[in-house]
Amino acid sequence: MRLTDLRDKKVRSLDGETLGRVHEVHCEGRRVVALMCGAASLIERWTARQVGERIPWELVKRVEADAIIVAFDPPSASRSRRGTRQASGPRSKR
């Protein structure tokens, strides 16, 4: 698998809901720990802002040709502009 197989790919929950597109992959100790997904725009990359959902790699079920399927149900509250929402655990601001 390559980074380009993940990046810009649609992320869908098991229910089929589209959660966004992968715009960042987080690694620690050479292991992929999370995907960042959301409506990533060029401006966000240019300004290096962090916006969107953080999806731990453990919740990724499969990587298909056109989407990444995750076991993740996004909370109904609106997305924070500055912070990120974790798929599990307490909300944290970055």
Partner 1 sequence: MNPLELTLGIMTAVGGFVDISELVFAAKAGSTFGYALIWVFAVGTIGIVVFSEMSGRVAIAAKQPVFNLMRHRLGIKLGLLTLVASVISNLITCAAEVGGVALILNYLTGAPYLPMAAAMTVVMIVSIWVLPFEWIERVYGLLGLVMLVFAAALVAIHPPWDKIAGGFVPHIPAGLSTKELLTFAYFSVAILSAVMFPYEVYFYSSGGIEEGWAPKDMLKNRITSIVGMGLGSLLAIAILANSAQLFGPVNVDPEIPGTAAMQAAIPFGKWGLILALLGMFFAVSGAAVETCMANAYSIAQFFGWMWGRHKKPWEAPRFTLTWIVLFALALLIVLSGVDVMTLVEFAILFSILVLPLTYLPLLLLAGDKKYMREHVNGPLAKALGWLYFAIITAAALAALPLYFLTSGGNG
Partner 2 sequence: MTPDSPIKLVSELLDLPLLDSEGKYCGIVDDVEFSGDAGKILELKALLVGPGAYERRLPGWAFWLVRKIAGDRLTRVPMDRVRTIGAVVKLECAGRDLGLHRDETRVGKWIPRKGAL
Provide the minimum distance between the beta carbon of 46 and partner 1 in the complex, in angstroms, as a whole number: 5
Q: What's the CA dihedral at 37, 39, 43, 46 to 10 degrees?
A: 10
Which does residue 53 bind out of partner 1, partner 2, none, counting CB within 5 to 8 angstroms by kind?
Answer: none
* Sequence-separated (6 or more) residues with CB below 8 Å from residue 59: 70, 71, 72, 87, 88
Give, as ranges, the residues between 33 and 62 that touch partner 1 (CB under 8 A): 42, 45-48
The span from the CA of 46 to the CA of 72, in Å, is 28
Provide the minimum distance between the beta carbon of 79 and partner 2 in the complex, in angstroms, as a whole number: 19
Site string for partner 2, 17-36 (x = CB under 8 A): ------xxxxxxxxxx----
Which does residue 42 bind out of partner 2, partner 1, none, counting CB within 5 to 8 angstroms by kind?
Answer: partner 1
Q: Report the relative pairing of strands 31-38 and 52-56 from DSSP bridges.
A: antiparallel
Nearer to partner 1, 11 or 40 (CB): 40
Length of the chain: 94
